[in-house]
A and B are shown apart, each in its own frame.
Chain A
Amino acid sequence: MRKVIFVTILLLAAASSALAMSTSDCFDCHSDDTLTKAVRGNEISLYVDEGIYGQSIHGDLECTDCHEDLAAEEDEHEEELKPVQCSNCHEDAASVMEVAEHPADCSDCHGKHDILPQSDSRSSVYDLNVPGTCCTCHSDQETPDVCVQYESGMHGIVLIRSGMIFSAVCNDCHGSHDIRGAGDPASMVARANINSTCAACHQGVAEKYKKSIHGEIFADSPEDAPVCTSCHSAHDTERAMDDTFLLTVVKRCSSCHEEMGYTFSKNYHGQVTGMGYTRAAQCPDCHGAHDILSIDDPASMAHPDNLVATCGKCHPGANRNFTLYMPHADYHDAQNYPMLYYVYLAMVILLTGTFAFFGIHTLLWLIRASIEKSRNRSGGVH
């Protein structure tokens, strides 16, 4: 009897070791690249490249470490496996993902059996590869296409064309696991947070901005101040010295300073800027950009005391007299520019008078001369 018990234990032990599936057991089947199954009519490959898996960061783990529901299975297993729970090990990332609203699985960004460390240039989340990874979903998702915009923007050009790894990629601004919509106040790209998000790289600009009138307003009520993205596009970010930026900067400033934008466009600088001439002054040339101050502030570039220097940037030799030019004058505005208004009015009267007199004169002449001509002609017949 004892013998029987002993053999039974032996057999059970042997059986149990056969029951617990080993990684090599899995590859008995899954190294066959023709192995497929049908999911809702689609053929899905069940092939796992043993070499790639072996080199992956999880290469030392057993299949069943992740596919836990197989740990108790024998050779054959259920076709439907339970989802892999990355959170078993990656608790921090998983808990962040849970509160954020990014509707993606870990594998959507990181891959499955081929996961590599983030620092590996082949990793799908390696900085150079991040835009491509995000764009597998986000291309064509929005209008305009953020992926196309990013590629043509400065960050994209620096990353993709110049190959500079320090350029901003998606997760630098949107977060890695803590990805939230811009409307979510906790989002890195929410209005109140975007400045500090950009400041992670553009620290010098952030310092200037803080001291500007925009920065001052932002400190009190972020909703009322322009933030980085109010003037700079989010995805197709231009270089501020490029024509595309200089020719649209007026429009950007005008989205708040509507009146100033209008009067600018009615004057020389604005007219030629409107026609694509970037050498003329645009808003920041006279008012400053990140360090912009109220013109009442004695430190402002556009404060009367500083105008000689400010105008002098483009007009060498500009003097105090020169700065009395009014770049935002509106000659239709009799209240603020009576002098210009009356000069304009006088011109209107001169033009109207001249054209009215000679218009009538011409018309009457035409009629009379035509009559005379036809009379002479018929006279000639007689």
Chain B
Amino acid sequence: MTDYSHTENIGQEERWYLRFNYYHRFLHALVIISFLGLVFTGMPLKYSHTGWAQTLAGLMGGIGAAGKIHRVFGTITWLYFFLHLLFAAYYVVKLRDEPLLKWFLGPNSMVPWIKDLEDIIGHVFWFLGMGERPKFDRFTYWEKFDYLAVFWGVGIIGFSGLMLWFPEFFSQLVPGWTFNVAIILHSDEALLAAGFIFTIHFFNTHLRPEKFPLDHVIFTGRISEEEFQHERPLEYERMREQGTLSSIESTPPTRTSLLWAQIIGFIAYGMGLIMILFIIYSALKELR
């Protein structure tokens, strides 16, 4: 775990490596901003019968205004989705340095494969004290799940959202009852996404004891050698053997960037926690 209390000489003695480039970090910033924006402008409609939803919508200037802001963040979501697809295409065509199939099923792709299944089982065995912790590579199975969940989520929520935004246009292509279906998908998939990100993703990536209180790598892009060796031993070893480690060696994160990582991270935690409490409160109220 990184200790930020003595940041004077942070990482002076340690080597640092670049895990995420500017583009990755920029896209993740867009994801954070648009996701929080969508959740806060969208959930009031899903829970329109509750007091908090009405207050929240009121703060934004009414549910009509909330709906307009929601569409702005929806647009940002489609934007990062396409920006990512562009990058993915660029990676596959230009940056990829291994054969297509080998890359596709290998550690540098987000595609889940047999190793991930083994890791899930191995990880759970480790949880239960029945074995060693699996050695992870560049992308762990829960990171791939997060990534594909966003892919799936933007697909389902984004497309149903577009349908509901432009019903007159889409009704030229599909019958009107598909809007009824779109509402269910949009709403419940959004609940899944918000619930997942604000609890599971936050824990897996930031809040678990090894990372607590925050893993700054998505903000600073940098990972220390010690953490690299511990968290992603397979990637570290492979790159060391290939002699490519030096290509990603980087300067330590600056104090300013760490401060920003914490500010952004804790704001997101706070907003997530508030929304989770709202959702749980509403769910309990509905049960009664």
Contact = CB atoms under 8 A, between A and B. Distances in A.
Answer yes or no: are A and B bound together in one complex: yes
Nearest to B53: A275
Interface in B115-143: 123-124, 126-129
A339 B176 CA distance: 13
Contacts of B181: 339-340, 343
Given A272-B63, A277-B62, A369-B209, A362 B204 contact: yes
Interface in B176-198: 176-177, 179-181, 183-185, 188-189, 191-192, 195-196
Contact of A347 (B44, B172, B189): B189
Nearest to B46: A271
A325 B167 contact: yes
Given A321-B174, A362-B200, A369 B208 contact: yes
Interface stretch (A24-32, A34-42, A230-238, A312-320): A312-320
A327 B206 CA distance: 43
B185 A322 contact: no
B185 A275 contact: no
Nearest to A321: B171
A230 B61 CA distance: 33
B184 A343 contact: yes
B180 A318 contact: no
B168 A317 contact: yes
Nearest to A327: B180
A67 interface: no
Interface in A337-355: 337, 339-340, 343-344, 347-348, 350-351, 354-355
Contact of A373 (B64, B123, B183, B209): B209
A373 B210 contact: yes
Interface residues of A, number: 48
B199 interface: yes
B48 A275 contact: yes
A344 to B, nearest CB: 5
Contacts of B128: 364, 368
A348 B185 CA distance: 10
Contacts of A372: 209
Given A365-B127, A369-B208, A319 B188 contact: no
Contact of A275 (B44, B169, B174): B44
A321 B191 CA distance: 29
Contacts of B169: 317
A5 interface: no
Contacts of B172: 319, 321
A39 B62 CA distance: 61
A322 B167 contact: yes
Contacts of A316: 168
A358 B142 CA distance: 9
B80 interface: no
Contacts of A365: 123, 127, 203-204, 208
Contact of A318 (B124, B171, B204, B209): B171
B49 interface: yes
Contacts of A274: 48-49
Contact of A362 (B174, B191, B203): B203
A276 B55 CA distance: 11
A340 B184 contact: yes
A372 to B, nearest CB: 8
A326 interface: yes
Interface in B58-89: 62-64, 67
A371 B128 CA distance: 11
A333 B176 CA distance: 19
A324 to B, nearest CB: 3
A322 B183 contact: no
A320 to B, nearest CB: 9
Contact of B168 (A272, A276, A315, A329): A315
Nearest to A363: B127
A87 B129 CA distance: 104
Given A323-B176, A339-B181, A358 B200 contact: yes
Nearest to A312: B168
A333 B288 CA distance: 20
Given A275-B62, A325-B167, A368 B129 contact: yes
A324 B177 contact: yes
Interface in A266-297: 267-268, 271-272, 274-277, 279
A90 interface: no
B54 interface: yes
Contacts of B209: 366, 369-370, 372-373
B64 A277 contact: yes
B218 interface: no
22 contacts: A265-B49, A268-B164, A271-B45, A274-B48, A275-B48, A277-B62, A315-B168, A319-B172, A321-B174, A321-B175, A324-B176, A347-B185, A351-B188, A355-B200, A361-B124, A362-B203, A362-B204, A365-B208, A366-B203, A366-B208, A368-B127, A369-B209
Interface of B: 44-45, 48-49, 53-54, 57, 62-64, 67, 123-124, 126-129, 164, 167-169, 171-172, 174-177, 179-181, 183-185, 188-189, 191-192, 195-196, 199-200, 203-204, 208-210
Closest 6 CB pairs of A and B: A325-B176, A324-B176, A322-B171, A364-B127, A347-B188, A275-B63
